[in-house]
Structure 1
């Protein structure tokens, strides 16, 4: 006997494993089919959902196994009922409906973008596929019913339009009941590998709203219908699509899918007899409502995706702008430190030079040179503070706002100054937000001085935390000096302040644009008593947690 090689043994094992997978798929499909068939009727056929969802999701290589899995229960039922309904009926009834539906779904999968990436779906194409599969399945059911014969070979009741419509409605509504829910579950699983139930709860509370609000409403409508007359029950059945519309408005087509499934089940449970014409009428309305809401919800979902992409693009732009400002502040800090080192070197050089020339210079010239050296050092210090305040580098933002260059600038104009820091978490904001507060306070002061003479400035800065996102509100109240009247002096005053603070003095629009980079805004209120400028800033995006960013979006 020829010994088998390792490669041949591996191929043989793989083939056996492949056959085992096909057998498992056939057995699982047959079990699910029998389970759904047991709770179905002709006007509400849940196996249609299983059939369409399996054809949409399962790879092509397992389709023969699914055909066998559907043939097994149908063939068994046809065999045991062949004597009651005839051999011809048994042969037609044993044909699995998945067989004619498979080429249709294969065409949709290959030629269209019915199922898209990230769990998105073209709802119009899905409904068309449902309609075609429902028509094909109805044709098979009608053909089987048309050849039914009694045991004495006499034909039974003929096929009527009402029966055909019942078959079509049952297959279409059955597909509408579970197929969209399965597609939604697939999308949730694609979005996260966690248990899809928990993930759905996290995605806006869809299942919470469905089971906490929708189910009690459906149960209440059913109880009201049972307690009332037949007309009351019919009104309650039709009204069951109203909470589905609410769920679709809140959660898009996923809400319509989950709500439609629950409403369809609720309507089916109100049936007291098989093929109740009133139930069929209500189911027809529910099927139309679910189809419309799925289309409408799909439109909402697409618009939500567009809005989300726009928000992400905007957020990315703000993040880049914030990073640019942060890098600019870092460069200014480096420039200020370098300038400080240059000033120190100049001071040392001037001191050594004066020490050497002290014995050769007259006393008045030595004092003049000393004053000029001190003035140069003062200008160097002022320029360094304008670039990047020394108080902020050494003591942080509270000292910078309370007794830093801002207080010196207000004092230079002859006005009084008061700074109040309140709230919580102000020191926990990003460093560039601190510097932006200081820069905007400087610009606001210069803007106020260009509008009026000031005798008192009160700066209030409050920090806070809302939904995991830190923020700061800065309010500058400038009290008008009614006695000041020299315009030239006022102009000279704000120019000195602008030079001291390193402000651009470009007006309130510049302040507003800088605040918008940090997701904030500016409000200016000018009265006869003075001027109030309120600025809101949020924390830098790079410091926010993902959960806070999601809540902000």
Structure 2
């Protein structure tokens, strides 16, 4: 046999030993109406790989052989020596079916109550059938005891398996595991207080039962706060609190009727809470995934806007080079005309060159405001290009406060584009005058800018395709920078932009070289 196989066998044998001791310890703390070994057995059969099942069966058989062998004379030898080997394999039928139909139960928490109930009922039937067939303690095979077995098995399963499911899925995107731990500690403390009030002292049965029923309240609160994960922890804590008083029994068939009523209520509430918690968790997960998708989409949009700005910057630089060559050609023509004595043509060519240069500067500045990298946002807003291109030549006034140049260039660019879109939107109504108010701010480590554009004398007009695109672009840019936009009425648009924590630095000034003409573009 290979070394790897020996190691696997040794690990399996260690698992059998540990499992057997756990079953014996849990059996010592259990009664029929609160049966802990069922939880350990079902946790092993549902959550461990099926290749380990033979070791689970061996450990289970050893534990119950240890418990039942001394009772061979009291009942029968076949029950004492054969039933320990039959119990676990027969009980494993339902977990095997569950694993075949659902796969890993940890990923199908909504179905777990049905699986747990089916296993509890099946285990009770197997136990009673073995007792009857192998001449075991068949006198207890009554309907009342069957219900007691089912409730005990069900609560035992819910003490162990759901908590282990939470542990197995601890890395699957739980929003705040620390909050779950903190709230679980608070719920445990409240349950302990109610447990002491119910079980220490000579309380009336009705009062004790009411206090026992109130112990489910922390589990309800955990369910609302954390979905099925909270229900798992809360139900386990409540079930332990309900079962602890019964562990004082040291005689077979001992039964606490008052606690059993509360335990039946707990079993029903457990099912409801777990199903309800699964629904809450499904909504939590859907909202979390949508939030992640939205953040991812916003990052993509922001990256797209930044990439577009860089592309426009490169185009403007290329256009500036072309314009510089045209200027050089014009200057050469002017010198030739001066040498030939055509002074009138020289003046005309100079005037047309100045107009062309001014027109180029205005449109290039509107395409990409190169000066924003040196002079800042406020200087670009007050340039002639902003009023002539975006405001349609209307009178634009400014009220600018704060240090906009302290903001990242990317954020200043976004504010400039948003201001252009806002002015263009309000220009549709042909206002007499527009006022741009801006205030750059810094507060508790965050920086941003608030801009409000007011139009005076504008009228409501039917939105055109251009204005709708401008509105969508404005809204998109604002959202990608974690801000907000509001159009209070037809003549006012306000927006807020905030510096992102992962803001990408804007492209630095690129020296265009001596061939670029000295225009407003690079001043």
TM-score normalized by the length of structure 1: 0.78
1:215 pairs with one of 181, 185, 188: 188
Q: CA RMSD in A?
A: 3.5
1:410 deviates by: 7.9
1:405 deviates by: 4.9
**Partner of residue 476, structure 1:** 452
| Distance in structure 2 (CA, Å) of the matches to 1:521 and 1:327 | 22
2:244 pairs with one of 258, 269, 280: 269
Greater displacement, 201-210 / 74-83: 201-210
1:23 deviates by: 1.4
User: Is the alpha carbon distance of 1:54 and 1:398 closer, same or farther for their aligned partners in structure 2, counting shifts above 3 Å?
Assistant: farther
| Distance in structure 1 (CA, Å) of the matches to 2:16 and 2:56 | 5
Residues 420-431 of structure 1: matches in 2 within 5 Å? Answer: 420-421=401-402, 427-428=407-408, 431=409
1:132 deviates by: 2.9
| Distance in structure 1 (CA, Å) of the matches to 2:467 and 2:23 | 75
Retained in 2: the 8 A contact 1:36–1:46?
A: yes
Residues 320-469 of structure 1: matches in 2 within 5 Å? Answer: 320-397=300-377, 399-401=379-381, 405-406=385-386, 413-421=394-402, 427-428=407-408, 431-451=409-429, 452-454=431-433, 456-462=435-441
| Distance in structure 2 (CA, Å) of the matches to 1:329 and 1:477 | 23
Q: Alignment partner of 2:339: what SS?
A: coil
Contiguous gaps of at least 5 residues in structure 1? 1-10, 193-199, 492-502, 545-553
1:41 pairs with one of 24, 31, 34: 31
1:525 deviates by: 2.5
Q: Alignment partner of 2:450: what SS?
A: strand
**Partner of residue 135, structure 1:** 121
1:257 deviates by: 0.6
**Partner of residue 285, structure 1:** 265
**Partner of residue 163, structure 1:** 145
1:158 deviates by: 5.0
1:113 pairs with one of 78, 102, 121: 102
Does 1:303 find its partner at 2:283? yes
| Distance in structure 1 (CA, Å) of the matches to 2:438 and 2:387 | 10
| Distance in structure 1 (CA, Å) of the matches to 2:440 and 2:183 | 41
**Partner of residue 177, structure 1:** 159
Deviation per CA, 1:347-375, whole angstroms, max 9, x where unpaired?
12211221122032443332221111111
1:536 pairs with one of 475, 491, 496: 496
Q: Alignment partner of 2:231: what SS?
A: helix
Q: Alignment partner of 1:41: what SS?
A: coil
**Partner of residue 474, structure 2:** 511
Retained in 2: the 8 A contact 1:46–1:171?
A: yes
Retained in 1: the 8 A contact 2:434–2:453?
A: no
User: Is the alpha carbon distance of 1:457 and 1:316 closer, same or farther for their aligned partners in structure 2, counting shifts above 3 Å?
Assistant: closer
Q: Alignment partner of 1:44: what SS?
A: coil
Retained in 2: the 8 A contact 1:253–1:295?
A: yes
Deviation per CA, 1:411-438, whole angstroms, max 9, x where unpaired?
9644542211369x9624xx54432211
1:218 deviates by: 0.9
Deviation per CA, 1:88-141, whole angstroms, max 9, x where unpaired?
55246534632212232222222x12426xx522432x3333223222322344
User: Is the alpha carbon distance of 1:426 and 1:74 closer, same or farther for their aligned partners in structure 2, counting shifts above 3 Å?
Assistant: farther
| Distance in structure 2 (CA, Å) of the matches to 1:143 and 1:113 | 28
Deviation per CA, 1:297-344, whole angstroms, max 9, x where unpaired?
222222333333333333333333333222221211111111111122
Does 1:19 find its partner at 2:9? yes
Contiguous gaps of at least 5 residues in structure 2? 505-523
Retained in 2: the 8 A contact 1:391–1:404?
A: no
**Partner of residue 6, structure 1:** none
Retained in 2: the 8 A contact 1:234–1:278?
A: yes
1:477 deviates by: 4.7
Deviation per CA, 1:173-206, whole angstroms, max 9, x where unpaired?
1011111111111111x549xxxxxxx7943611
Greater displacement, 503-512 / 314-323: 503-512
Retained in 1: the 8 A contact 2:481–2:497?
A: yes
| Distance in structure 2 (CA, Å) of the matches to 1:66 and 1:455 | 80
Retained in 2: the 8 A contact 1:134–1:168?
A: yes
User: Is the alpha carbon distance of 1:23 and 1:149 closer, same or farther for their aligned partners in structure 2, counting shifts above 3 Å?
Assistant: closer
Deviation per CA, 1:479-526, whole angstroms, max 9, x where unpaired?
737xxx9x9xxx9xxxxxxxxxxx979664553344345454321234
User: Is the alpha carbon distance of 1:453 and 1:201 closer, same or farther for their aligned partners in structure 2, counting shifts above 3 Å?
Assistant: closer
| Distance in structure 1 (CA, Å) of the matches to 2:8 and 2:166 | 29
| Distance in structure 1 (CA, Å) of the matches to 2:2 and 2:395 | 96
| Distance in structure 1 (CA, Å) of the matches to 2:2 and 2:135 | 49
Retained in 1: the 8 A contact 2:47–2:104?
A: no
2:177 pairs with one of 179, 194, 203: 203
**Partner of residue 508, structure 2:** none
Q: Alignment partner of 1:205: what SS?
A: helix
